[in-house]
Structure 1
Amino acid sequence: MKLIKLNKIGSDLRLHTENLAHIGFRKIFDGIDQLKIKNGVDKLGIDGFINQCACLAAGSGAMAGSGGMFTLVAGIPFDFINLITQQFRAIMGIMYYYRGTYENGFDDFMSLVATSVKVEAGVAITRSMMEGIAERMLMILGTRTAERLVPVVGAVIGGTANYLFIKRMAARVKEMQKEFVVIAIE
């Protein structure tokens, strides 16, 4: 019987990973107003904008861990969606800052997201690559979940983990974007 339950958990996780990869990422991407990203970077500067994204991610992490098991169950889905949203916002801000355009296509954007979470990106966005991104994000979330079971301590851990995740990811993406492309005008 235990084997059946483990197989069910594994297949459920695979299903959730596929749904996140194929539906969730696109919905989150489409739900972000790229003009507001541009305006935020113009107003706050790139580092201020990244810090804002990190603080927003920290807020949901702290909320999810603040009440122990009670808020964990209700807060984790919200925290996970907010963490991905803030990661996407930070990457869009960096893309705008270094490329000068705020209108980014989903495929180009997902290539950069894949690189930011250390998933190998090929020339085109593949189904397995998007599932790899989703799996990596779920693993990041899972490692922090157990730590949040203790009230108050969980809030500090959740908020800090989210804040540091966004800051470190943004630093990697900024390094990747520093390679400027020179276009010769004749």
Structure 2
Amino acid sequence: MFADTFLMKSLKKITSSLKQQADTLAQRGFRQIFDRIDQLNIKKGVDKLGLEGFINQCAYLAAGTGALSGTGGIFTMALGIPVDVVNLITQQFRVTMAVNYAKRGTYRISFDEFIKIVAASLKVEASIALSKNVLEAVAEKLMLKLGARAAQRLVPVVGAVIGGTANYLFIKRMGESVKELHGKDEVIKL
């Protein structure tokens, strides 16, 4: 009985924390992550590894923090989830930029243009004008995807496998989603 109550309170706290992180991401986090990514290095990485090699590298980097955040169950998850979320979003952004470079031939992309592509790849309705609502929708969609897997990471060791695998597959799927977007005529005209 005590364990169930403790687990429910922990899950509620994690859910509340994820919602708060989504709000923070929508307000300033996406821009900060975007600004810290070296777009020229992404170009160099794609040129050296090829697009698929670069996507795999990003997926493995994401899997690493996913595994670490699930290694010790609830204790490492509480500390590891924020780091894992930032890394997962960073890797998703890097993959999006890499695909954009591979498909369009230019590695420079503005934040507004970039967020429209991310929103479309997450199947968020993006209007022509970038708005706070688009940023909030992207943040909420990402946090829901991440939060759904958070409870599975509560079991030590098993949580590491689940966290690493989930992150790896998420990045691989995002790469495919962005590639599909660039193959359609309805890609955001920039």
- The TM tier, using the shorter chain, reads 0.7 to 0.9
Q: Which residue of 1 aligns with 2:38?
A: 33
Measure, in 2, the Cα distance between the counterparts of 1:112 and 1:88: 10
Q: TM-score, normalised by structure 1?
A: 0.88
2:158 to 153, 159, 165: 153
Q: State the one-letter code of the partner of 2:129.
A: A
Structure 2 segments unaligned to the other structure (5+ residues): 1-11, 186-190
Measure, in 2, the Cα distance between the counterparts of 1:76 and 1:16: 10
What is the percentage of aligned positions where both structures have the same residue?
A: 60
Q: How many residues of Structure 1 are paired with residues of Structure 2 in the alignment?
A: 174
CA 1:13–1:159 in structure 2 vs 1: closer, same or farther (change >3 Å)?
closer
Measure, in 2, the Cα distance between the counterparts of 1:10 and 1:154: 17
CA 1:161–1:11 in structure 2 vs 1: closer, same or farther (change >3 Å)?
closer
1:54 to 54, 59, 81: 59
Q: Which residue of 2 aligns with 1:117?
A: 122
Q: CA deviation at 1:115?
A: 0.9
Q: CA deviation at 1:125?
A: 1.2
CA 1:179–1:84 in structure 2 vs 1: closer, same or farther (change >3 Å)?
same
CA 1:10–1:128 in structure 2 vs 1: closer, same or farther (change >3 Å)?
farther
> In 1, are the aligned partners of 2:19 and 2:143 still within 8 Å (CA)?
no
Q: Which residue of 2 aligns with 1:17?
A: 22
Q: Which residue of 1 aligns with 2:132?
A: 127
User: What do the CA deviations read for 1:115-153 (whole angstroms, capped 9, x no partner)?
Assistant: 111111111211111101111111111111110010111
CA 1:59–1:178 in structure 2 vs 1: closer, same or farther (change >3 Å)?
same
Measure, in 1, the Cα distance between the counterparts of 2:120 and 2:132: 15
User: What do the CA deviations read for 1:136-177 (whole angstroms, capped 9, x no partner)?
Assistant: 111111111110010111000000000000101110110111
Measure, in 2, the Cα distance between the counterparts of 1:11 and 1:60: 21
CA 1:73–1:15 in structure 2 vs 1: closer, same or farther (change >3 Å)?
closer
Measure, in 2, the Cα distance between the counterparts of 1:57 and 1:123: 31
1:69-84 aligned within 5 A: 69-84=74-89
Measure, in 2, the Cα distance between the counterparts of 1:67 and 1:175: 37
Structure 1 segments unaligned to the other structure (5+ residues): 181-186
Q: Aligned to 1:122, what secondary structure does the other structure show?
A: coil
Q: CA deviation at 1:43?
A: 0.2
